Amino acid sequence: MKKVSIIDYQVGNLFSVTSAIQKIGLAVEVVQKPEDIKKSELILLPGVGDFSFASEVIKKNGIWDAVRQHNFLERPIVGICLGMQLLVTEGFENGRHEGFDFIKGASVALTPQPGISKIPRIGWHKVFIESDLSKEMQLSEFDSKYMYFAHSFHVNLLENVELKLSSAHGRNTIISGFFKNNIAGVQFHPEKSGSLGINFLEKIFNSFAKKF
Amino acid sequence: MDIKGSNVIKGIQMDGLRVVGDPQDLSNKYFEDGADEILFIDIVASLYGTATIHELVSKVASSAFIPLTVVGGIRNIHDARKAISFGADKIGINTAAVKDPKFIREIAETFGSQAVVINIEAKMTGLDSWEVYTESGRQRTGIAVTDWVKKVQDLGAGEILLTSVDRDGTGKGPDLDLAQKVQSICSIPVIVSGGINSTDDCSAIAALGLDGVAIGRNLHNNQLQISRLKQELLQSHEIRI
């Protein structure tokens, strides 16, 4: 695999994730038109913005269907933060919105825990490998390591996945990543998590490159 | 507890910065030394209304893979979008928000709350009261910090950067009373800035339950080092190494 195609939902910072991918040594393109995705090897759904706004933008410009087609062909898709939330069935930010439904689950608001933890959940938190049934992903070196989070919503999974990462939010445990077949989602921002984050991203890409 | 390196770019102090180093080099140095975030505080922009550091942020964004926040000179959504397109992950606003609080909601709705940092410059006015100042601590507003903290949260702010006007640039220790006051009424993350001088200062801020510290002067003059600070704090706090 030589190139990553980043979907542009017209909000947020594509600069960081583009730089991170280039640092890893892959080519990057930012796509805004459905026809550009037909040739994509790996699609990346980036991290900043609002679920309702982002999903509306990409439904309107035809990218939504092109991403569905990419998944139908079992080509890899990586979602970061908001991108991860878009991968599941539905999201409840500013009303109920349809997600891609590649993984059964819902994106819901973080539970307020006054005096214990804050929302938005911004900052560095440890991620844990909660379960790993995958044969390809070798992520043990990232267990209990700090990654950077910036979110107010989190994903509840409603199906089993090959690999699950978790993180602590006050007294609760929340999903911080999942992997199944051609789909990978992380709640944190690997492109903002220092060298460790870059290594993590590289591991995901390498794993998909071997598999697909 | 996050340790953020604060790069203060002042037109008048460019000479001073030349003595300690180039802002891009400093940023990379702090990144490699373990900084959790870098704040670019554009005081010239804040005074004259033009942001001048976009190019610097882009350069840093391509080599320092940690959150970058641009503070100063963001007057409207166009400025915010521009800063973000050049690589800023978050934007920090003060004057523009005080002038038109609805601007906070506008940015939060466009980029998400997590991208919005409200830079509160607080100057002590009494034993238990502080006033919001704008324009790098030069312009008073008549607004009580406690009222403003509550208001910005309601409008969708993601984080507060709490700068003590009295302590900023002095290296004489942070205003812990201010920090404690804000923490007691705040349900969004608060980063304390101004006067941080030692591991004990950071420890005291962490003990009050605040989320991070921003250090400028004492990093640039090498009095403090991020890696050493973190090692020392690790003994009693959760900290990213």
Of residues A138 and B9, which shows the higher confidence score? A138
Residue B215: phi and psi, rounded to 5, are -125, 135
pLDDT for the residue B14: 31
C-beta atoms of A12 and B114 within 8 A: no
- Enter the pTM of the model: 0.91
Of residues A76 and B25, which shows the higher confidence score? A76
Burial (CB count <10 Å: 0-12, 13-18, 19+), residue A123: buried
Region A100-128 average pLDDT: 92
- Decide if pLDDT at B47 tops 80: no
- Decide if pLDDT at B7 tops 60: no
C-beta atoms of A120 and B31 within 8 A: no
pLDDT for the residue B13: 30
What's the farthest any 2 CA atoms get from each other in chain B? 45
The pair of three-digit structure tokens given for residue B214, joined into one six-digit string: 């921003």
Place B5 in a pLDDT band, splitting at 50, 70 and 90: low
Please check whether residue A90 is in contact with residue A98, taking contact to mean a CB–CB distance below 8 angstroms.
Answer: yes
Region B162-167 average pLDDT: 90
Chain B residues lying within 8 Å of A150, measured CB to CB? 67, 89, 112, 114-115, 158
Chain B residues lying within 8 Å of A13, measured CB to CB? 84-85, 87-89
The pair of three-digit structure tokens given for residue B124, joined into one six-digit string: 């002590």
Using the Cβ of A148 and the Cβ atoms of chain B, whether some distance falls under 8 Å is answered with yes
- The model's pLDDT over A42-97, given as tens digits with 9 standing for 90+, comes to 999 998 777 777 888 888 888 899 999 999 999 999 999 999 999 999 999 888 99
Using CB atoms, which residue from A13, A50, A123 is nearest to B89? A13
CA closest to A116 among chain B residues: B209
C-beta atoms of B111 and A148 within 8 A: no
User: For B66-70, B200-204, B237-241, which range has the lowest pLDDT when averaged over its residues?
Assistant: B237-241
Residue A192: phi and psi, rounded to 5, are -120, 10
pLDDT for the residue B219: 80
- Whether residue A189 lies in the annotated active site: yes
User: For A208-212, B73-77, B129-133, B164-168, which range has the lowest pLDDT when averaged over its residues?
Assistant: A208-212
Using CB atoms, which residue from B88, B89, B188 is nearest to A118? B188
pLDDT for the residue B18: 41
User: For B37-41, B214-218, B224-228, which range has the lowest pLDDT when averaged over its residues?
Assistant: B214-218
Collapsing DSSP states into helix, strand and coil, what is residue A132?
Answer: strand
Q: How far apart are CA A160 and CA A103, in angstroms?
A: 9
> In degrees to the nearest 10, what's the CA dihedral of B45, B51, B55, B56?
30
pLDDT for the residue B12: 27
pLDDT for the residue B227: 92
Of the candidates A81, A97, A125, A169, the residue annotated as catalytic is A81
Of residues B232 and B16, which shows the higher confidence score? B232
E strand segments, chain A: 3-7, 27-31, 42-45, 77-80, 88-91, 97-98, 103-109, 121-132, 145-151, 153-157, 163-169, 172-180, 183-186
pLDDT for the residue B142: 97
Chain A residues lying within 8 Å of B188, measured CB to CB? 118-120
Using the Cβ of A195 and the Cβ atoms of chain B, whether some distance falls under 8 Å is answered with yes
Chain B residues lying within 8 Å of A197, measured CB to CB? 65
Using the Cβ of A95 and the Cβ atoms of chain B, whether some distance falls under 8 Å is answered with no
pLDDT for the residue B2: 56
Place B4 in a pLDDT band, splitting at 50, 70 and 90: low
Model ipTM value: 0.89
Please check whether residue B229 is in contact with residue B4, taking contact to mean a CB–CB distance below 8 angstroms.
Answer: no
For chain A, the straight-line distance linking the first and the last C-alpha, in angstroms and rounded, comes to 8
pLDDT for the residue B21: 62
- Decide if pLDDT at A116 tops 90: no
User: For A125-129, B74-78, B164-168, which range has the lowest pLDDT when averaged over its residues?
Assistant: B164-168
The pair of three-digit structure tokens given for residue B143, joined into one six-digit string: 């607004």
For chain B, the straight-line distance linking the first and the last C-alpha, in angstroms and rounded, comes to 11
Using the Cβ of A150 and the Cβ atoms of chain B, whether some distance falls under 8 Å is answered with yes
Of residues B56 and B92, which shows the higher confidence score? B92
Burial (CB count <10 Å: 0-12, 13-18, 19+), residue B42: buried
Region A15-27 average pLDDT: 94
Using DSSP bridges, classify how beta strands B37-42 and B139-144 pair: parallel, antiparallel or unpaired. Answer: unpaired
C-beta atoms of B87 and A118 within 8 A: no
- The set of residues, in sequence order, having a beta carbon less than 8 Å from that of A107 and lying 6+ positions away, is A51, A85, A88, A90, A91, A92, A93, A99, A153, A154, A155
Pick left, alpha or beta for residue A182 (phi over 0 → left; psi -120 to 50 → alpha; otherwise beta).
alpha
Please check whether residue B205 is in contact with residue B174, taking contact to mean a CB–CB distance below 8 angstroms.
Answer: yes
Region B190-205 average pLDDT: 91
Chain B residues lying within 8 Å of A24, measured CB to CB? none
C-beta atoms of B159 and A122 within 8 A: yes
**What rounded mean pLDDT belongs to chain B?**
85
